[in-house]
Structure 1
Amino acid sequence: MPEHASQPFYMPSGNEIAVFEQCHANQLAVMLKGPTGCGKTRFVEHMAWRLGRPLVTVSCHDDLTASDLVGRFLIHHDHMAWQDGPLASAARQGAICYLDEVIEARQDTVVVLHSLTDHRRTLSLEKTGELIHADPGFQLVVSYNPGYQRMLKDMKPSTRQRFVALDFEFPPTDREIAIVLREGGTDTATAHALVTLAHKLRGLHDRGLVEVPSTRLLVATAKLIAGGIPLRQACYVGLVAPLSDDVSLAGAMRDLVDLTFV
Protein backbone atom coordinates (compact mmCIF):
# COMPACT_ATOMS: atom_id res chain seq x y z
CA MET A 1 0.00 0.00 0.00
CA PRO A 2 1.24 3.53 -0.77
CA GLU A 3 2.31 5.72 2.10
CA HIS A 4 -0.49 8.20 1.38
CA ALA A 5 -4.07 6.95 1.50
CA SER A 6 -5.42 10.18 0.03
CA GLN A 7 -4.07 12.02 -2.98
CA PRO A 8 -1.29 14.48 -2.09
CA PHE A 9 -2.07 17.78 -3.80
CA TYR A 10 0.28 18.63 -6.66
CA MET A 11 -0.25 21.14 -9.45
CA PRO A 12 1.81 20.19 -12.55
CA SER A 13 3.70 22.87 -14.43
CA GLY A 14 4.55 20.85 -17.53
CA ASN A 15 4.87 17.26 -18.69
CA GLU A 16 6.68 16.02 -15.57
CA ILE A 17 3.96 13.53 -14.58
CA ALA A 18 4.02 11.74 -17.95
CA VAL A 19 7.83 11.68 -17.98
CA PHE A 20 7.96 10.22 -14.46
CA GLU A 21 5.37 7.58 -15.35
CA GLN A 22 7.46 6.50 -18.34
CA CYS A 23 10.58 6.39 -16.18
CA HIS A 24 8.78 4.15 -13.70
CA ALA A 25 7.46 1.89 -16.46
CA ASN A 26 10.96 1.57 -17.92
CA GLN A 27 12.70 1.18 -14.54
CA LEU A 28 14.72 4.38 -14.90
CA ALA A 29 16.06 6.35 -11.95
CA VAL A 30 15.00 10.00 -11.70
CA MET A 31 16.81 13.11 -10.50
CA LEU A 32 14.77 16.16 -9.46
CA LYS A 33 16.67 19.45 -9.64
CA GLY A 34 15.35 22.73 -8.30
CA PRO A 35 15.38 25.33 -5.52
CA THR A 36 14.36 24.57 -1.97
CA GLY A 37 10.59 24.45 -1.41
CA CYS A 38 9.53 24.44 -5.06
CA GLY A 39 7.52 21.20 -4.87
CA LYS A 40 10.01 18.38 -5.51
CA THR A 41 9.06 16.35 -2.44
CA ARG A 42 5.34 16.89 -2.95
CA PHE A 43 5.75 15.74 -6.56
CA VAL A 44 7.34 12.46 -5.42
CA GLU A 45 4.57 11.93 -2.86
CA HIS A 46 1.97 12.57 -5.56
CA MET A 47 3.63 10.16 -8.00
CA ALA A 48 3.93 7.40 -5.38
CA TRP A 49 0.19 7.77 -4.75
CA ARG A 50 -0.56 7.93 -8.48
CA LEU A 51 1.46 4.77 -9.21
CA GLY A 52 0.21 2.96 -6.13
CA ARG A 53 3.72 2.37 -4.81
CA PRO A 54 5.00 2.56 -1.22
CA LEU A 55 7.28 5.54 -0.62
CA VAL A 56 10.48 5.36 1.44
CA THR A 57 12.04 8.78 2.08
CA VAL A 58 15.58 9.43 3.30
CA SER A 59 16.83 12.93 4.20
CA CYS A 60 20.50 12.91 3.27
CA HIS A 61 23.23 14.54 5.38
CA ASP A 62 27.00 14.53 5.85
CA ASP A 63 26.95 11.68 8.35
CA LEU A 64 24.82 9.35 6.22
CA THR A 65 26.78 6.15 5.64
CA ALA A 66 26.31 3.28 3.23
CA SER A 67 25.27 1.13 6.19
CA ASP A 68 22.54 3.64 7.04
CA LEU A 69 21.09 3.01 3.58
CA VAL A 70 21.82 -0.68 3.10
CA GLY A 71 21.48 -2.08 6.63
CA ARG A 72 23.50 -3.48 9.51
CA PHE A 73 23.63 -6.19 12.15
CA LEU A 74 21.88 -5.25 15.39
CA ILE A 75 22.17 -6.90 18.78
CA HIS A 76 18.94 -8.46 20.05
CA HIS A 77 19.37 -9.76 23.61
CA ASP A 78 21.67 -12.75 23.14
CA HIS A 79 22.04 -12.75 19.36
CA MET A 80 22.72 -10.51 16.36
CA ALA A 81 20.25 -10.07 13.52
CA TRP A 82 20.46 -8.27 10.21
CA GLN A 83 18.17 -5.29 9.68
CA ASP A 84 17.63 -3.85 6.22
CA GLY A 85 18.22 -0.16 5.73
CA PRO A 86 15.68 1.96 3.80
CA LEU A 87 17.34 1.36 0.43
CA ALA A 88 17.43 -2.43 0.81
CA SER A 89 13.89 -2.46 2.18
CA ALA A 90 12.60 -0.39 -0.75
CA ALA A 91 14.36 -2.63 -3.28
CA ARG A 92 12.81 -5.75 -1.76
CA GLN A 93 9.24 -4.44 -1.55
CA GLY A 94 9.17 -2.55 -4.85
CA ALA A 95 8.87 0.88 -3.28
CA ILE A 96 9.93 4.26 -4.58
CA CYS A 97 13.03 5.24 -2.60
CA TYR A 98 13.42 9.01 -2.42
CA LEU A 99 16.79 10.42 -1.34
CA ASP A 100 16.17 14.08 -0.54
CA GLU A 101 19.16 16.42 -1.04
CA VAL A 102 21.34 13.50 -2.11
CA ILE A 103 24.31 15.80 -2.70
CA GLU A 104 24.61 16.20 1.08
CA ALA A 105 25.62 12.55 1.40
CA ARG A 106 29.27 11.53 1.15
CA GLN A 107 30.52 10.32 -2.23
CA ASP A 108 31.43 6.91 -0.83
CA THR A 109 27.83 6.58 0.32
CA VAL A 110 26.35 7.60 -3.03
CA VAL A 111 28.41 4.96 -4.86
CA VAL A 112 26.25 2.24 -3.30
CA LEU A 113 23.39 3.46 -5.53
CA HIS A 114 25.17 2.67 -8.79
CA SER A 115 24.24 -1.00 -9.13
CA LEU A 116 20.56 -0.12 -8.62
CA THR A 117 20.54 2.54 -11.33
CA ASP A 118 21.67 0.51 -14.34
CA HIS A 119 20.67 -2.74 -16.03
CA ARG A 120 21.70 -4.80 -12.98
CA ARG A 121 19.14 -3.35 -10.56
CA THR A 122 20.87 -5.17 -7.73
CA LEU A 123 22.12 -4.30 -4.26
CA SER A 124 24.94 -6.27 -2.68
CA LEU A 125 24.82 -6.81 1.08
CA GLU A 126 28.51 -7.41 1.69
CA LYS A 127 28.08 -8.22 5.38
CA THR A 128 25.62 -11.04 4.68
CA GLY A 129 26.76 -12.10 1.22
CA GLU A 130 23.25 -11.58 -0.19
CA LEU A 131 22.57 -10.01 -3.57
CA ILE A 132 19.17 -8.32 -3.67
CA HIS A 133 17.48 -8.20 -7.06
CA ALA A 134 15.20 -5.18 -6.97
CA ASP A 135 11.48 -5.81 -7.28
CA PRO A 136 10.10 -4.65 -10.67
CA GLY A 137 8.21 -1.83 -8.94
CA PHE A 138 11.32 -0.39 -7.30
CA GLN A 139 12.43 3.06 -8.42
CA LEU A 140 15.18 5.33 -7.15
CA VAL A 141 14.50 9.08 -7.05
CA VAL A 142 16.95 11.70 -5.81
CA SER A 143 16.72 15.47 -5.45
CA TYR A 144 19.02 18.40 -4.89
CA ASN A 145 19.27 22.16 -5.25
CA PRO A 146 21.84 22.92 -7.99
CA GLY A 147 21.85 26.67 -7.35
CA TYR A 148 22.87 26.22 -3.73
CA GLN A 149 25.08 23.20 -4.23
CA ARG A 150 27.09 24.77 -7.06
CA MET A 151 28.95 26.81 -4.44
CA LEU A 152 29.63 23.85 -2.16
CA LYS A 153 29.43 20.38 -3.68
CA ASP A 154 28.58 18.66 -6.91
CA MET A 155 27.61 15.20 -8.04
CA LYS A 156 30.10 13.06 -9.93
CA PRO A 157 29.37 12.66 -13.68
CA SER A 158 29.46 8.88 -13.22
CA THR A 159 26.50 9.25 -10.84
CA ARG A 160 24.60 12.01 -12.66
CA GLN A 161 24.47 10.06 -15.92
CA ARG A 162 22.54 7.24 -14.28
CA PHE A 163 19.44 9.42 -13.89
CA VAL A 164 16.78 11.02 -16.02
CA ALA A 165 16.74 14.65 -14.82
CA LEU A 166 13.64 16.79 -14.29
CA ASP A 167 14.13 20.51 -13.70
CA PHE A 168 11.84 22.24 -11.22
CA GLU A 169 11.37 25.98 -10.73
CA PHE A 170 9.01 28.09 -8.68
CA PRO A 171 5.53 28.01 -10.27
CA PRO A 172 4.35 30.81 -12.58
CA THR A 173 2.46 33.58 -10.79
CA ASP A 174 -1.08 32.34 -11.42
CA ARG A 175 -0.21 28.77 -10.46
CA GLU A 176 1.65 29.83 -7.33
CA ILE A 177 -1.33 31.95 -6.27
CA ALA A 178 -3.60 28.93 -6.73
CA ILE A 179 -1.26 26.76 -4.62
CA VAL A 180 -1.03 29.32 -1.80
CA LEU A 181 -4.80 29.80 -1.93
CA ARG A 182 -5.52 26.07 -1.63
CA GLU A 183 -2.74 25.01 0.71
CA GLY A 184 -2.59 28.14 2.84
CA GLY A 185 -6.31 28.46 3.47
CA THR A 186 -6.30 32.22 2.92
CA ASP A 187 -8.32 34.48 0.61
CA THR A 188 -7.48 35.31 -3.00
CA ALA A 189 -6.31 38.88 -2.31
CA THR A 190 -3.88 37.74 0.40
CA ALA A 191 -2.56 34.88 -1.73
CA HIS A 192 -1.98 37.30 -4.59
CA ALA A 193 -0.20 39.78 -2.31
CA LEU A 194 2.05 37.06 -0.84
CA VAL A 195 3.12 35.83 -4.27
CA THR A 196 3.75 39.43 -5.38
CA LEU A 197 5.89 39.92 -2.28
CA ALA A 198 7.77 36.69 -2.97
CA HIS A 199 8.69 37.90 -6.46
CA LYS A 200 10.10 41.10 -4.96
CA LEU A 201 12.04 39.20 -2.31
CA ARG A 202 13.45 36.81 -4.89
CA GLY A 203 14.91 39.86 -6.61
CA LEU A 204 17.23 40.26 -3.61
CA HIS A 205 19.14 37.16 -4.70
CA ASP A 206 21.59 39.43 -6.53
CA ARG A 207 22.14 41.38 -3.31
CA GLY A 208 23.39 38.37 -1.40
CA LEU A 209 20.24 36.52 -0.36
CA VAL A 210 21.43 32.91 -0.65
CA GLU A 211 18.02 31.25 -0.32
CA VAL A 212 14.99 33.06 -1.73
CA PRO A 213 11.45 32.58 -0.39
CA SER A 214 9.98 29.28 -1.50
CA THR A 215 6.39 28.35 -2.25
CA ARG A 216 6.56 26.30 0.96
CA LEU A 217 7.31 29.44 3.00
CA LEU A 218 4.45 31.27 1.30
CA VAL A 219 2.04 28.50 2.28
CA ALA A 220 3.30 28.56 5.88
CA THR A 221 2.88 32.34 6.03
CA ALA A 222 -0.61 32.10 4.54
CA LYS A 223 -1.56 29.59 7.24
CA LEU A 224 -0.41 32.02 9.93
CA ILE A 225 -2.50 34.79 8.41
CA ALA A 226 -5.51 32.50 8.05
CA GLY A 227 -5.08 31.61 11.72
CA GLY A 228 -5.34 35.24 12.79
CA ILE A 229 -1.73 36.43 12.93
CA PRO A 230 -1.49 40.05 11.61
CA LEU A 231 -0.26 40.30 8.02
CA ARG A 232 3.04 42.06 8.64
CA GLN A 233 3.95 39.95 11.64
CA ALA A 234 3.16 36.76 9.74
CA CYS A 235 5.43 37.90 6.90
CA TYR A 236 8.21 38.88 9.28
CA VAL A 237 8.25 35.52 11.07
CA GLY A 238 7.21 33.36 8.12
CA LEU A 239 9.23 34.90 5.30
CA VAL A 240 11.86 37.38 6.49
CA ALA A 241 13.33 35.75 9.61
CA PRO A 242 13.85 32.24 8.12
CA LEU A 243 15.78 33.62 5.12
CA SER A 244 18.58 35.69 6.61
CA ASP A 245 20.18 36.96 9.81
CA ASP A 246 21.95 39.74 7.93
CA VAL A 247 20.69 43.05 9.34
CA SER A 248 20.74 44.95 6.05
CA LEU A 249 19.06 42.16 4.08
CA ALA A 250 16.43 41.64 6.77
CA GLY A 251 15.78 45.40 6.77
CA ALA A 252 15.38 45.43 2.99
CA MET A 253 12.94 42.52 3.19
CA ARG A 254 10.93 44.20 5.95
CA ASP A 255 10.69 47.32 3.78
CA LEU A 256 9.29 45.24 0.94
CA VAL A 257 6.73 43.70 3.30
CA ASP A 258 5.62 47.15 4.45
CA LEU A 259 5.34 48.39 0.85
CA THR A 260 3.28 45.37 -0.16
CA PHE A 261 0.83 45.59 2.74
CA VAL A 262 0.30 49.35 2.97
Structure 2
Amino acid sequence: MRGDLRAIDQHGQPSVTRAEPYYLPSGDEVALFEQCHARRLAVMLKGPTGCGKTRFLEHMAWRLQCPLVTISCHDDLTASDLIGRFLIRHDGTIWQDGPLTRAVREGAICYLDEVVEARQDTVVVLHPLTDYRRMLPIDKTGETIEAAAGFQLVVSYNPGYQHLLKDLKPSTRQRFVALDFEFPAGDREAAIIEREGGADRATARALVSLGHRLRGLRDRGLAEVPSTRLLIAAARLISSGISVRQACYSAVISPLSDDESLVGAMRDLVDATFV
Protein backbone atom coordinates (compact mmCIF):
# COMPACT_ATOMS: atom_id res chain seq x y z
CA MET A 1 0.00 0.00 0.00
CA ARG A 2 1.45 3.33 -1.06
CA GLY A 3 1.35 6.47 1.05
CA ASP A 4 -0.45 9.75 0.63
CA LEU A 5 0.28 12.32 -2.05
CA ARG A 6 1.90 15.57 -0.95
CA ALA A 7 0.63 18.25 -3.30
CA ILE A 8 1.92 21.82 -3.39
CA ASP A 9 0.19 24.71 -5.11
CA GLN A 10 1.90 27.46 -7.08
CA HIS A 11 2.16 29.59 -3.93
CA GLY A 12 4.20 26.90 -2.22
CA GLN A 13 1.46 25.85 0.19
CA PRO A 14 1.04 22.11 0.74
CA SER A 15 -2.49 20.82 0.37
CA VAL A 16 -4.09 18.33 2.74
CA THR A 17 -2.58 14.91 2.18
CA ARG A 18 -4.99 12.39 0.78
CA ALA A 19 -5.26 8.81 -0.39
CA GLU A 20 -4.92 7.48 -3.92
CA PRO A 21 -6.63 9.71 -6.50
CA TYR A 22 -9.06 7.56 -8.48
CA TYR A 23 -8.06 7.00 -12.10
CA LEU A 24 -9.27 4.33 -14.52
CA PRO A 25 -6.63 3.64 -17.21
CA SER A 26 -7.68 3.42 -20.84
CA GLY A 27 -4.47 1.96 -22.26
CA ASP A 28 -0.78 1.88 -21.44
CA GLU A 29 -0.51 5.52 -20.31
CA VAL A 30 0.46 4.53 -16.76
CA ALA A 31 3.40 2.39 -17.89
CA LEU A 32 4.47 5.03 -20.42
CA PHE A 33 4.51 7.77 -17.80
CA GLU A 34 6.43 5.61 -15.34
CA GLN A 35 9.11 4.98 -17.96
CA CYS A 36 9.28 8.70 -18.83
CA HIS A 37 9.74 9.52 -15.16
CA ALA A 38 12.45 6.90 -14.72
CA ARG A 39 14.28 8.21 -17.78
CA ARG A 40 13.85 11.89 -16.87
CA LEU A 41 11.75 12.75 -19.91
CA ALA A 42 9.41 15.73 -19.96
CA VAL A 43 5.79 14.84 -20.75
CA MET A 44 2.97 16.62 -22.54
CA LEU A 45 -0.60 15.53 -21.76
CA LYS A 46 -2.73 16.25 -24.84
CA GLY A 47 -6.50 16.15 -24.88
CA PRO A 48 -9.79 18.03 -24.55
CA THR A 49 -10.86 19.89 -21.44
CA GLY A 50 -12.19 17.68 -18.66
CA CYS A 51 -11.07 14.33 -20.08
CA GLY A 52 -8.94 13.34 -17.07
CA LYS A 53 -5.45 14.75 -17.74
CA THR A 54 -5.06 16.40 -14.35
CA ARG A 55 -6.53 13.45 -12.47
CA PHE A 56 -4.14 11.13 -14.32
CA LEU A 57 -1.16 13.21 -13.21
CA GLU A 58 -2.37 13.33 -9.60
CA HIS A 59 -2.67 9.56 -9.72
CA MET A 60 0.83 9.17 -11.16
CA ALA A 61 2.35 11.48 -8.55
CA TRP A 62 0.73 9.26 -5.91
CA ARG A 63 2.02 6.07 -7.53
CA LEU A 64 5.54 7.46 -7.83
CA GLN A 65 5.50 9.01 -4.35
CA CYS A 66 6.55 12.42 -5.73
CA PRO A 67 5.46 15.87 -4.54
CA LEU A 68 3.31 17.59 -7.16
CA VAL A 69 3.59 21.32 -7.85
CA THR A 70 0.73 22.62 -10.01
CA ILE A 71 0.86 25.94 -11.88
CA SER A 72 -2.19 27.29 -13.70
CA CYS A 73 -0.96 29.11 -16.80
CA HIS A 74 -2.46 32.39 -18.02
CA ASP A 75 -1.61 35.41 -20.16
CA ASP A 76 -0.04 37.35 -17.30
CA LEU A 77 2.23 34.52 -16.12
CA THR A 78 5.81 35.78 -16.24
CA ALA A 79 9.18 34.04 -15.99
CA SER A 80 9.58 35.63 -12.55
CA ASP A 81 6.30 34.05 -11.45
CA LEU A 82 7.84 30.67 -12.25
CA ILE A 83 11.44 31.19 -11.18
CA GLY A 84 11.20 33.70 -8.31
CA ARG A 85 11.94 37.31 -7.44
CA PHE A 86 13.59 39.57 -4.90
CA LEU A 87 11.29 40.82 -2.15
CA ILE A 88 11.83 43.96 -0.13
CA ARG A 89 11.27 43.54 3.60
CA HIS A 90 11.81 45.76 6.58
CA ASP A 91 15.14 44.06 7.27
CA GLY A 92 16.45 44.02 3.71
CA THR A 93 15.99 42.33 0.37
CA ILE A 94 15.54 38.56 0.13
CA TRP A 95 15.19 36.15 -2.75
CA GLN A 96 12.04 34.02 -2.90
CA ASP A 97 11.94 30.92 -5.11
CA GLY A 98 9.05 30.55 -7.50
CA PRO A 99 7.10 27.27 -7.82
CA LEU A 100 9.23 25.97 -10.70
CA THR A 101 12.44 26.61 -8.78
CA ARG A 102 11.06 24.88 -5.69
CA ALA A 103 10.12 21.85 -7.76
CA VAL A 104 13.60 21.72 -9.31
CA ARG A 105 15.28 21.91 -5.89
CA GLU A 106 12.94 19.39 -4.23
CA GLY A 107 12.74 16.82 -7.01
CA ALA A 108 9.01 17.31 -7.47
CA ILE A 109 6.81 16.85 -10.50
CA CYS A 110 6.05 20.34 -11.84
CA TYR A 111 2.76 20.52 -13.75
CA LEU A 112 1.97 23.50 -15.98
CA ASP A 113 -1.76 23.28 -16.65
CA GLU A 114 -2.79 24.63 -20.09
CA VAL A 115 0.76 25.70 -20.90
CA VAL A 116 -0.29 27.32 -24.18
CA GLU A 117 -2.02 30.07 -22.20
CA ALA A 118 1.38 31.28 -20.99
CA ARG A 119 3.39 33.79 -23.01
CA GLN A 120 6.07 32.42 -25.33
CA ASP A 121 8.85 34.30 -23.52
CA THR A 122 7.75 32.60 -20.32
CA VAL A 123 7.66 29.11 -21.85
CA VAL A 124 11.24 29.49 -23.11
CA VAL A 125 12.61 29.32 -19.55
CA LEU A 126 11.50 25.68 -19.47
CA HIS A 127 13.82 24.60 -22.28
CA PRO A 128 16.98 23.87 -20.22
CA LEU A 129 14.91 21.59 -18.00
CA THR A 130 13.55 19.49 -20.87
CA ASP A 131 16.80 18.16 -22.36
CA TYR A 132 19.99 16.50 -21.16
CA ARG A 133 21.01 19.58 -19.14
CA ARG A 134 18.14 19.38 -16.62
CA MET A 135 19.14 22.70 -15.14
CA LEU A 136 17.49 26.01 -14.33
CA PRO A 137 19.57 29.20 -14.75
CA ILE A 138 18.46 32.08 -12.51
CA ASP A 139 19.77 35.23 -14.14
CA LYS A 140 18.81 37.51 -11.25
CA THR A 141 20.97 35.64 -8.74
CA GLY A 142 23.57 34.14 -11.07
CA GLU A 143 22.71 30.68 -9.79
CA THR A 144 22.28 27.59 -11.95
CA ILE A 145 20.32 24.80 -10.28
CA GLU A 146 20.69 21.18 -11.32
CA ALA A 147 17.38 19.37 -11.08
CA ALA A 148 17.18 17.05 -8.10
CA ALA A 149 16.45 13.39 -8.62
CA GLY A 150 12.74 12.87 -9.16
CA PHE A 151 12.13 16.22 -10.85
CA GLN A 152 9.93 15.99 -13.92
CA LEU A 153 8.31 18.66 -16.05
CA VAL A 154 4.76 17.94 -17.23
CA VAL A 155 2.49 20.22 -19.24
CA SER A 156 -1.11 19.88 -20.41
CA TYR A 157 -2.28 20.99 -23.81
CA ASN A 158 -5.69 21.10 -25.49
CA PRO A 159 -5.05 20.94 -29.27
CA GLY A 160 -8.69 21.50 -30.20
CA TYR A 161 -8.88 24.80 -28.33
CA GLN A 162 -5.90 26.52 -29.85
CA HIS A 163 -5.67 28.95 -32.73
CA LEU A 164 -2.91 30.47 -34.82
CA LEU A 165 -1.89 33.09 -32.26
CA LYS A 166 -1.88 30.65 -29.32
CA ASP A 167 0.04 27.50 -29.91
CA LEU A 168 3.28 25.92 -28.83
CA LYS A 169 6.33 26.47 -30.99
CA PRO A 170 7.69 23.33 -32.68
CA SER A 171 10.96 23.89 -30.80
CA THR A 172 8.99 23.56 -27.55
CA ARG A 173 6.69 20.71 -28.57
CA GLN A 174 9.59 18.49 -29.61
CA ARG A 175 11.06 18.61 -26.12
CA PHE A 176 8.19 16.53 -24.71
CA VAL A 177 6.94 12.98 -24.95
CA ALA A 178 3.24 13.35 -25.75
CA LEU A 179 0.51 11.20 -24.21
CA ASP A 180 -2.82 11.55 -26.01
CA PHE A 181 -6.05 11.57 -24.04
CA GLU A 182 -9.65 11.41 -25.25
CA PHE A 183 -12.96 11.15 -23.47
CA PRO A 184 -13.31 7.63 -22.04
CA ALA A 185 -15.14 4.93 -23.98
CA GLY A 186 -18.76 4.42 -23.00
CA ASP A 187 -18.40 1.68 -20.37
CA ARG A 188 -15.35 3.33 -18.82
CA GLU A 189 -16.99 6.74 -18.71
CA ALA A 190 -20.08 5.24 -17.07
CA ALA A 191 -17.90 3.53 -14.46
CA ILE A 192 -16.10 6.81 -13.74
CA ILE A 193 -19.36 8.75 -13.41
CA GLU A 194 -20.82 6.06 -11.15
CA ARG A 195 -17.71 6.10 -8.94
CA GLU A 196 -17.03 9.84 -8.86
CA GLY A 197 -20.57 11.14 -9.10
CA GLY A 198 -22.24 8.74 -6.69
CA ALA A 199 -24.86 7.87 -9.29
CA ASP A 200 -26.49 4.49 -9.83
CA ARG A 201 -25.46 2.53 -12.90
CA ALA A 202 -28.58 3.34 -14.94
CA THR A 203 -28.17 7.08 -14.35
CA ALA A 204 -24.48 6.92 -15.17
CA ARG A 205 -25.17 5.16 -18.46
CA ALA A 206 -27.89 7.68 -19.33
CA LEU A 207 -25.50 10.57 -18.66
CA VAL A 208 -22.93 8.95 -20.95
CA SER A 209 -25.58 8.63 -23.65
CA LEU A 210 -26.44 12.32 -23.20
CA GLY A 211 -22.77 13.25 -23.39
CA HIS A 212 -22.33 11.38 -26.68
CA ARG A 213 -25.38 13.06 -28.16
CA LEU A 214 -24.24 16.51 -27.08
CA ARG A 215 -20.74 15.93 -28.42
CA GLY A 216 -22.33 15.42 -31.80
CA LEU A 217 -23.31 19.12 -31.78
CA ARG A 218 -19.72 20.28 -32.22
CA ASP A 219 -20.34 20.76 -35.94
CA ARG A 220 -23.37 22.92 -35.16
CA GLY A 221 -21.34 25.62 -33.44
CA LEU A 222 -20.72 24.22 -29.98
CA ALA A 223 -17.26 25.54 -29.09
CA GLU A 224 -16.64 23.07 -26.26
CA VAL A 225 -18.34 19.69 -25.98
CA PRO A 226 -19.43 18.37 -22.57
CA SER A 227 -16.56 16.86 -20.63
CA THR A 228 -16.60 13.90 -18.31
CA ARG A 229 -16.15 16.48 -15.55
CA LEU A 230 -19.50 18.10 -16.37
CA LEU A 231 -21.27 14.74 -16.45
CA ILE A 232 -19.84 13.92 -13.02
CA ALA A 233 -21.12 17.27 -11.71
CA ALA A 234 -24.61 16.41 -12.98
CA ALA A 235 -24.40 12.97 -11.35
CA ARG A 236 -23.49 14.54 -8.02
CA LEU A 237 -26.48 16.86 -8.17
CA ILE A 238 -28.77 13.97 -9.06
CA SER A 239 -27.42 11.83 -6.22
CA SER A 240 -28.09 14.73 -3.83
CA GLY A 241 -31.77 14.82 -4.75
CA ILE A 242 -31.92 17.39 -7.56
CA SER A 243 -34.19 16.31 -10.42
CA VAL A 244 -32.44 14.72 -13.38
CA ARG A 245 -33.46 17.37 -15.88
CA GLN A 246 -32.61 20.30 -13.63
CA ALA A 247 -29.23 18.76 -12.82
CA CYS A 248 -28.46 18.34 -16.53
CA TYR A 249 -29.67 21.84 -17.40
CA SER A 250 -27.58 23.46 -14.65
CA ALA A 251 -24.43 21.31 -14.68
CA VAL A 252 -24.15 20.42 -18.36
CA ILE A 253 -26.23 22.61 -20.68
CA SER A 254 -25.87 26.07 -19.18
CA PRO A 255 -22.04 26.00 -18.86
CA LEU A 256 -21.67 25.06 -22.53
CA SER A 257 -23.45 27.89 -24.33
CA ASP A 258 -25.61 31.01 -24.09
CA ASP A 259 -26.85 30.68 -27.66
CA GLU A 260 -30.63 30.23 -27.47
CA SER A 261 -30.91 27.86 -30.43
CA LEU A 262 -28.05 25.66 -29.17
CA VAL A 263 -29.40 25.64 -25.63
CA GLY A 264 -32.83 24.68 -26.96
CA ALA A 265 -31.36 21.83 -28.99
CA MET A 266 -29.39 20.58 -26.00
CA ARG A 267 -32.41 20.73 -23.70
CA ASP A 268 -34.34 18.66 -26.26
CA LEU A 269 -31.58 16.06 -26.12
CA VAL A 270 -31.84 15.96 -22.33
CA ASP A 271 -35.60 15.41 -22.57
CA ALA A 272 -35.10 12.68 -25.17
CA THR A 273 -32.47 10.91 -23.05
CA PHE A 274 -34.40 10.95 -19.78
CA VAL A 275 -37.89 10.07 -20.96
TM-score, normalising length from structure 1? 0.98
- Aligned-partner SS, 2:22: coil
- 2:219 maps to 206
Residue number among 2, 6, 22 corresponding to 1:2 in the alignment: 6
C-alpha separation between the residues in 1 aligned to 2:18 and 2:208? 30
Q: Which of 33, 40, 56 is equivalent to 2:46?
A: 33
Q: Which amino acid aligns with 2:53?
A: K
Among 122, 133, 142, the alignment partner of 2:155 is 142
Quick one: percent identity of the two aligned structures? Answer: 74
Distance in 2 between residues matched to 1:150 and 1:119, nearest whole Å? 31
Instruction: Say whether residues 1:222 and 2:249 are aligned partners.
Output: no
Alignment correspondent of 1:166: 179
Number of residues paired by the alignment? 262
Shift of 1:155: 0.5
Match among 239, 255, 268 for residue 242 of structure 1? 255
Aligned-partner Cα distance in 2 for 1:211–1:151: 18
Aligned to 1:80: 93
* Runs of 4+ off more than 3 Å: none
Q: Which stretch of structure 1 is more off in the superposition, 147-156 or 174-183?
A: 147-156
In structure 2, the residue matched to 1:63 is 76
RMSD: 0.9
CA deviations 1:109-130 (Å, max 9, x no partner) are 0000000000000001111111
Unaligned runs of 5+ in 2: 8-16
Cα distance in 2 for partners of 1:73, 1:100 equals 25
In the TM superposition, what is the alpha-carbon distance from 1:151 to its structure 2 partner? 5.8
In structure 2, C-alpha distance between the alignment counterparts of 1:261 and 1:20, rounded to whole Å: 39
Q: How far, CA to CA, are the matches of 2:164 and 2:130 in structure 1?
A: 27
- Is 1:11 the counterpart of 2:24? The answer is yes
Secondary structure of 1:68 counterpart:
helix
Which piece of structure 1 moves more, 2-11 or 119-128? 2-11
Give me the TM-score of the superposition, normalised by structure 2: 0.94
Q: Which of 158, 170, 178 is the matching residue for 1:157?
A: 170
Whichever residue aligns with residue 186 of structure 1, its letter is A
How many angstroms apart in 2 are the aligned matches of 1:145 and 1:151? 14
